[in-house]
Amino acid sequence: MSRLDTIDCHYVAPELAAAYLREEGGEVAFIEVNTSLAVPRLLEALRAAGLTPEQVKFIIVTHVHLDHAGGTSALLAHCPNATVLAHPRAARHLIDPSRLVKSARQVYGDEAFDALYGTIGAIDAQRVQALEDGETRTLGGATLRFLHTRGHANHHFVVHDESMNVVFTGDTFGLVYPLLQGQGRFAFPSTSPTDFDGRAALESVRRIMALKPASVALTHFGRFEDVGVIGEQLERALVFSSQLFEEGRQSGDEQGTLEQRFRWQLEAALLERLGFTPDAQQKKLLHFDVELNAQGLAFAAVKARG
């Protein structure tokens, strides 16, 4: 049997972060995990599909940002035959997540961290495989090809399911929130801290488009077939973000000043593209990523000064 299910992880809000259940020939892969708090939802999706944890062959994380990989150890504990697949730079943080956890607790504080991410445990190195660019694995009769895609994070890959011709894009192919799709397709990139590289991000978007996938499965949020439309929007937005980065790099302004300026500029550009006046919930969703994107651009601009 062949199936692909989208699982709403209910991270922060509904339809903000997804994981995917892929089955082929009785073997199962989870692509993305979200946090440990989402693990019961993933296991329920498995049960609802008539599948068992013993059938899970792979747990795949596109990168180790905690809204993608925070629940990996918790899910793995339920799946005795599963192997975790990750980018080589991500694998070590799954095996020993102490640096990630320490950094995130410093940013969020202990109470907020626990509420958002729950428990993040170490993973036995024997259950983790680091995949180089272009490597493949088989799931049932399907071939999964792993492509390194820098730009959003230096430890990011995407997964091209060649059987279904779908690419699981993580954060490389932007954000397409259902709540913001009122006036046609509305996609924008994620330039959040700390590894934003505009040129690499553009190259990664174009690499995905060159695969000519029938659909893309975004972590944020859902599966879409209008790949060209999304890609063109991301290209334009990344050019704009790269211009802001360069202006910030040359300005000499401190990071806090740049964050505030970039926040205004990004928000104005997104609202102009949106084409309608957002309600309170839509504004909150936009603000969430505008804040992160402004921080990422400012951080990158200051860092690039050396």
Question: Is the domain of 146 the same as that of 107?
Answer: no
In the DSSP assignment, the letter for residue 16 is S
Residue 198 has phi, psi (to 5 degrees) of: -60, -45
**Cis peptide upstream of residue 188 (ω within 30 degrees of 0):** no
- Give the list of residues 6+ apart from residue 97 with CB closer than 8 angstroms, or none: 64, 73, 120, 121, 122
The answer on 269 and 155 residing in a single domain is yes
Beta-carbon contacts of residue 47 (< 8 Å; ≥ 6 apart): none
- Position 101, amino acid: V
197 has a pLDDT exceeding 80: yes
Query: pLDDT by residue (tens digit) across 113-171?
Result: 888 888 899 999 999 999 999 999 999 999 999 999 999 999 999 999 999 999 999 99
Q: Is the pLDDT of residue 105 over 80?
A: yes
33 and 76 in a common domain:
yes
pLDDT above 90 covers a percentage of the chain that reads 88
- Domain count within the chain: 2
CA 47, CA 38: separation in Å to the nearest integer? Answer: 15
Residue 194 confidence (pLDDT) = 86
Average pLDDT (2-9) is 97
Q: What pLDDT does 112 receive?
A: 86
Residue 180, classed as helix, strand or coil, is helix
Could you tell me if 71 and 165 lie in one domain? no
pTM of the prediction? Answer: 0.95
Residue span of the structural domain in which 256 resides: 135-306
Do 8 and 56 fall within a single domain?
Answer: yes
pLDDT tops 80 at residue 108:
no
Kindly state the helix (H) or strand (E) to which residue 112 belongs, with its residue range. helix 110-117
Last residue of a domain, one of 100, 130, 160: 130
Q: Which of 130, 155, 183 is the last residue of a domain?
A: 130
Residue in the structure block whose two tokens are 């990168």: 63
Question: What is the pLDDT at residue 299?
Answer: 93
Give the model's pLDDT for residue 273: 93
Q: What is the dihedral of CA 135, 138, 142, 143, to 10 degrees?
A: 10
- Which of 130, 156, 191 is the last residue before a domain boundary? 130
For residue 184, is it left (φ>0), alpha (ψ between -120 and 50) or beta?
left
Same domain, 304 and 173: yes
Same domain, 303 and 187: yes
- Whichever domain contains 7, its CATH number is 3.60.15.10
**pLDDT, position 114:** 87
Q: What distance in Å separates the CA atoms of residue 192 and residue 300, rounded to the nearest whole number?
A: 9
Query: Are 115 and 141 part of one and the same domain?
Result: no
Same domain for 202 and 226, yes or no, is: yes
Q: What is the rounded distance in angstroms from the CA atom of residue 2 to the CA atom of residue 23? A: 5
Residue 104: both structure tokens together: 């995130």
> Residues 287-303: pLDDT tens digits?
999 999 999 999 999 99
Average pLDDT over residues 31-40: 97
The model's pLDDT over 225-268, given as tens digits with 9 standing for 90+, comes to: 999 999 999 999 999 999 999 999 999 899 999 999 999 999 99
pLDDT band with cut points at 50, 70 and 90 for residue 104: confident
Considering the domain architecture, whether residues 170 and 226 belong to the same structural domain is answered as yes
Do 100 and 157 lie in one domain? The reply is: no
Is there a single domain that holds both residue 209 and residue 254? yes
Looking at 151-279, list the stretches that DSSP marks H as alpha helix, in order from N- to C-terminal side: 198-210, 227-251, 255-274
Mean pLDDT of 12-30: 97
C-beta neighbour count of 80 within 10 angstroms: 10
Mean pLDDT value across the chain: 95
